[in-house]
């Protein structure tokens, strides 16, 4: 057994993929919703490889770290391949010391050596291995450098356990350990190294102040020992702040310059690239120039020749057909919008900018019962709410995960919705500004209410800030492809299924009956009766409904006031079927049903009020 361990963003999963190739399966860790990758390697016959969740320490503060700890403790015979960022070795070596205190077979992998060399970092990996008593391998996972050496070390095996590092722990730490050990260990057994007994059970017995001091002294002792080892084997020059990278790093970390940069990223990344290019240029080409001109007429003629019965023809083509509605919406409307969003997100992720954005928004998010770490699922929610709901697992506490899921279900439009909305308001700048202001107010108000009503503690915030780097095209394309593949495996069947349901509803009269129930509510919002069909589509997917509203706009059936009301309502509309079931899986039936009911009530109330205010004030 090989366990690949290490913190996030150090290339751990890339090394796992290099070793396993396509021999990988993904499953949930027992009793949790966290995905674990397991595989075999053609280079390492006889070994099973597991990619553990990202962890900084054996003392867990998140579900991922708890699972990583359990996996390490449950496989005492496994070889642990610890992957670290070579240029940040000082911060990561204390975790190595914890693993050595467990008396496990460890291979230390110094990844990102290309970046370390560019910064002038010098590490004598041979001497470091001698100091720690373990093999040390230098790698560059993106190019494959060092992978042959790593495989050779694994194949050679580790004949003996490494020595326990002689760390000088302060009296307070030793006292707490002795007191705890006296209650849980057999009498007369010597006190083991801290990593063998320090865990949630011990820490839960300490008062908050005592626990904080204990953890601090434990970390400081390991850090002092790590520093003494590195002083003999490595040098880390202070990076120049006068270089372009140094200046950019400072600008993105200083609040006075970071805020304008964040707005610029959102403007050019979301509004221009996703909204104007994705939802505008690409959608116009695919829907009008390609689909409406060539694909739809050809498919309609082909189906009408093949199927003589009009009822079955309607299943595949015409107004609500699988080909002319479901497939067209998925490919001509949703594909370019979601694709451009995931390209943008992958660029931000690979550049190292997202952690800086998390740090910038930490204070704001604390008012919402979250911290800066929540910026990742929240931003990802602008791509796909279903995927983002799954990603809330990275948040430390159940309270944070509930609040983030609530915000994603209420006030975060997915990229397909967002792209359609931006296309609808692209020529109405005052509507766009009003929509942004109102959605921000609703988002903040909901978060502040949730922060005061959802029970639980406010978590501490820590996050590794990687250096800014030029995104690698291969990484961006690979991440975009994997997310698009996941998205379309999830979305395309639902679009086709929705078309079938609409066909059945139309055939049986149920569709018309539901529309009759919706029309009075639509009327209170000041929208045309035809919009009822679009909102009915929204019960299947919010982006499906948004695309229906865009169709109405393109046919001249919405005036500016109706555009304003419709984009507000569809932004706040019910979570799509996929997001609803993921909410149920992650948070339970009660949460999913209660959230959906509250979202529907909020969306209709806001729509009615917005229409009333716009009419009474004469605005729009």
Domain boundaries, position 208: 171-235
Regarding whether 410 and 321 lie in a shared domain, the answer is yes
Mean pLDDT of 591-619: 90
User: What gap in Å lies between CA 52 and CA 62, rounded to an integer?
Assistant: 13
Give the residue, 618 or 528, on which the prediction is more confident.
Answer: 528
Task: Enumerate the H helices of 75-207 as residue ranges.
Answer: 89-101, 113-118, 125-132, 147-156, 171-184, 200-204
The predicted structure's pLDDT at residue 239: 64
Q: Which of 124, 156, 188 is the last residue before a domain boundary?
A: 156
Mean pLDDT of 185-197: 75
Task: Enumerate the H helices of 208-316 as residue ranges.
Answer: 208-233, 244-253, 255-266, 283, 296-306, 310-316
Confidence of residue 30 (pLDDT cuts 50, 70, 90): very low
548-579 per-position pLDDT tens digit: 888 888 888 888 999 999 999 988 887 777 77
User: What gap in Å lies between CA 244 and CA 114, rounded to an integer?
Assistant: 18
Q: Count Cα atoms within 13 angstroms, Cβ side, for 165.
A: 31
The partner residues of 40 in beta bridges, in order of sequence, read 48
Is the pLDDT reported for residue 223 higher than 50? yes
167-176 per-position pLDDT tens digit: 999 988 888 8
DSSP codes, 79-99: EEEEEEEGGGHHHHHHHHHHH
User: Is residue 522, in this structure, part of any structural domain at all?
Assistant: yes
Q: Name the pairing type of β-strands 122-123 and 234-235.
A: antiparallel
Regarding whether 210 and 276 lie in a shared domain, the answer is no
The conformation of residue 140, written as its DSSP 8-state character, comes to B
Is the pLDDT reported for residue 594 higher than 60? yes
The predicted structure's pLDDT at residue 252: 81
Regarding whether 348 and 299 lie in a shared domain, the answer is yes
Regarding whether 74 and 207 lie in a shared domain, the answer is no
Q: Which of 156, 186, 212 is the last residue before a domain boundary?
A: 156
The predicted structure's pLDDT at residue 611: 92
User: Is residue 504, in this structure, part of any structural domain at all?
Assistant: yes
Is the pLDDT reported for residue 416 higher than 60? yes
Question: How many Cβ atoms sit within 10 Å of the Cβ of residue 205?
Answer: 13
Q: Given strand 35-40, what is the order of strands in its sheet? A: 24-28, 35-40, 48-51, 2-5, 79-85, 105-111, 136-138
Mean pLDDT of 528-541: 80
Is the pLDDT reported for residue 32 higher than 60? no
Asked if 425 contacts 432 with a C-beta cutoff of 8 angstroms, the reply is: yes
Q: Which of 13-27, 420-434, 472-486, 552-566 has the lowest mean pLDDT?
A: 13-27
Which residue do the tokens 């005052």 mark? 430
Binding residue positions for Mg(2+): 17, 20-21
User: Is residue 598, in this structure, part of any structural domain at all?
Assistant: yes
The structural domain count of the chain equals 3
Is the pLDDT reported for residue 235 higher than 50? yes
Asked if 198 contacts 218 with a C-beta cutoff of 8 angstroms, the reply is: yes
Q: Which of 206, 235, 264 is the last residue before a domain boundary?
A: 235
User: Is residue 200, in this structure, part of any structural domain at all?
Assistant: yes
Confidence of residue 588 (pLDDT cuts 50, 70, 90): confident
Binding residue positions: 6-13, 17, 20-21, 31-35, 51-54, 111-114, 140-142
* Distances from the Cα of 88 to the Cα of 40, 230, 427, 506, angstroms: 30, 12, 48, 62
Is the pLDDT reported for residue 615 higher than 80? yes
Closest CA to 515 of 535, 501, 545: 535
* Distances from the Cα of 195 to the Cα of 100, 340, 467, 483, 551, angstroms: 9, 46, 30, 37, 61
Q: How far apart are the first and last CA of the chain?
A: 66
* Distances from the Cα of 66 to the Cα of 75, 111, 270, 390, 437, angstroms: 15, 24, 35, 17, 40
User: Is residue 553, in this structure, part of any structural domain at all?
Assistant: yes
Put simply, whether the predicted model's pTM sits higher than 0.85 gets the answer: no
Give the residue, 393 or 133, on which the prediction is more confident.
Answer: 133
Is the pLDDT reported for residue 465 higher than 60? yes
Regarding whether 265 and 186 lie in a shared domain, the answer is no
Regarding whether 581 and 525 lie in a shared domain, the answer is yes
Mean pLDDT of 19-25: 64
Question: How many Cβ atoms sit within 10 Å of the Cβ of residue 177?
Answer: 21
Is the pLDDT reported for residue 529 higher than 80? yes
Is the pLDDT reported for residue 10 higher than 50? yes
Regarding whether 295 and 228 lie in a shared domain, the answer is no
User: Is residue 161, in this structure, part of any structural domain at all?
Assistant: no
Regarding whether 473 and 524 lie in a shared domain, the answer is yes
Asked if 87 contacts 96 with a C-beta cutoff of 8 angstroms, the reply is: no
Helix (H, G, I), strand (E, B) or coil at 375: helix
Checking 247-254 for CB contacts under 8 A at 24+ apart, the result is: 248/468, 249/467, 249/468, 252/353, 252/356, 252/468, 253/356, 253/359, 253/465
Which residue do the tokens 């189906």 mark? 303
Is the pLDDT reported for residue 488 higher than 60? yes
User: What gap in Å lies between CA 148 and CA 473, rounded to an integer?
Assistant: 25
The predicted structure's pLDDT at residue 128: 95
Regarding whether 142 and 183 lie in a shared domain, the answer is no
User: Is residue 247, in this structure, part of any structural domain at all?
Assistant: no
Mean pLDDT of 603-619: 90
Q: Two tokens at 105?
A: 């077979």
Regarding whether 440 and 371 lie in a shared domain, the answer is yes
CATH code (residue 137): 3.40.50.300
Most confident of 60-69, 310-319, 432-441, 527-536: 432-441
Regarding whether 297 and 231 lie in a shared domain, the answer is no
User: What gap in Å lies between CA 385 and CA 414, rounded to an integer?
Assistant: 6
Regarding whether 266 and 221 lie in a shared domain, the answer is no
Binding residue positions for GTP: 6-13, 31-35, 51-54, 111-114, 140-142
Residues in the chain: 620
User: Is residue 532, in this structure, part of any structural domain at all?
Assistant: yes
* Distances from the Cα of 495 to the Cα of 1, 186, 281, 332, angstroms: 42, 62, 23, 12
């Amino acid at each position: 057994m090989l366990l690949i361990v290490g913190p996030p963003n150090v290339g751990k999963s890339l090394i796992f993929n290099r070793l396993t190739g396509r021999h990988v399966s993904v499953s949930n860790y027992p009793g949790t919703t966290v995905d674990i990758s397991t595989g075999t390697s053609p280079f390492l016959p006889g070994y099973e490889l597991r990619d553990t969740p990202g962890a900084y320490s054996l003392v867990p503060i998140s579900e991922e770290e708890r699972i990583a700890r359990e996996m390490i403790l449950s496989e005492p015979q496994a070889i642990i391949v610890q992957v670290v960022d070579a240029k940040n070795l000082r911060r990561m070596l204390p975790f190595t010391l914890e693993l050595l205190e467990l008396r496990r077979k460890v291979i230390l992998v110094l990844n990102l050596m290309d970046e370390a060399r560019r910064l002038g970092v010098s590490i004598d990996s041979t001497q470091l291995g001698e100091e720690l008593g373990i093999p040390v391998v230098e790698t560059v996972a993106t190019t494959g450098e060092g992978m042959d050496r790593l495989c050779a070390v694994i194949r050679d095996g580790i004949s003996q356990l490494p020595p326990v590092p002689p760390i000088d722990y302060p009296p307070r730490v030793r006292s707490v350990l002795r007191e705890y050990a006296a209650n849980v260990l057999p009498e007369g057994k010597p006190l083991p190294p801290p990593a063998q007994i320090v865990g949630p059970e011990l820490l839960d017995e300490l008062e908050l102040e005592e626990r904080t001091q204990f953890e601090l002294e434990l970390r400081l002792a390991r850090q002092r020992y790590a520093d003494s080892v590195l002083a003999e084997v490595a040098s880390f020059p202070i990076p120049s702040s006068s270089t372009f990278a140094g200046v950019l790093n400072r600008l993105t970390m200083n609040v006075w310059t970071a805020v304008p940069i964040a707005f610029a990223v959102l403007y050019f990344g979301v509004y221009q690239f996703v909204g104007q290019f994705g939802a505008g240029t690409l959608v116009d080409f695919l829907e009008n120039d390609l689909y409406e001109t060539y694909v739809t007429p050809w498919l309609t003629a082909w189906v009408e020749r093949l199927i003589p019965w009009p009822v079955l023809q309607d299943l595949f083509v015409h107004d609500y057909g699988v080909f002319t509605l479901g497939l067209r919406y998925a490919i001509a409307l949703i594909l370019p919008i979601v694709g451009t969003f995931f390209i943008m997100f992958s660029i931000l992720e690979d550049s190292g900018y997202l952690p800086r954005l998390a740090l910038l928004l930490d204070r704001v998010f604390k008012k919402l019962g979250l911290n800066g770490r929540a910026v990742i699922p929240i931003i990802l929610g602008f791509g796909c709410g279903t995927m983002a709901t799954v990603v809330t697992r990275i948040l430390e506490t159940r309270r944070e995960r509930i609040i983030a899921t609530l915000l994603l279900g209420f006030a975060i439009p997915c990229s397909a919705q967002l792209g359609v909305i931006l296309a609808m308001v692209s020529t109405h700048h005052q509507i766009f500004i009003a929509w942004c202001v109102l959605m921000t107010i609703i988002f903040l108000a909901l978060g502040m209410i949730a922060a005061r009503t959802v029970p639980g503690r406010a978590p501490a915030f820590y996050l590794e800030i990687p250096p800014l780097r030029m995104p690698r095209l291969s990484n961006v394309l690979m991440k975009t492809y994997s997310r698009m593949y996941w998205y379309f495996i999830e979305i395309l069947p639902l679009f086709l299924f929705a078309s079938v349901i609409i066909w059945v509803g139309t055939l049986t009269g149920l569709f018309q009956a539901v529309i009759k129930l919706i029309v009075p509510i639509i009327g209170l919002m000041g929208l045309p009766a035809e919009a009822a069909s679009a909102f009915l589509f929204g019960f299947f997917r919010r982006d499906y409904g948004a695309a229906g509203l865009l169709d109405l706009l393109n046919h001249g059936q919405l005036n500016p006031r109706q555009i304003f009301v419709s984009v507000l309502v569809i932004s706040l509309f019910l979570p799509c079927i996929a997001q609803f079931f993921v909410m149920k899986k992650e948070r339970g039936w009660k949460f999913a049903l209660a959230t959906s009911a509250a979202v529907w009530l909020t969306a209709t109330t806001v729509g009615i009020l917005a229409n009333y205010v716009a009419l009474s004030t004469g605005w729009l």
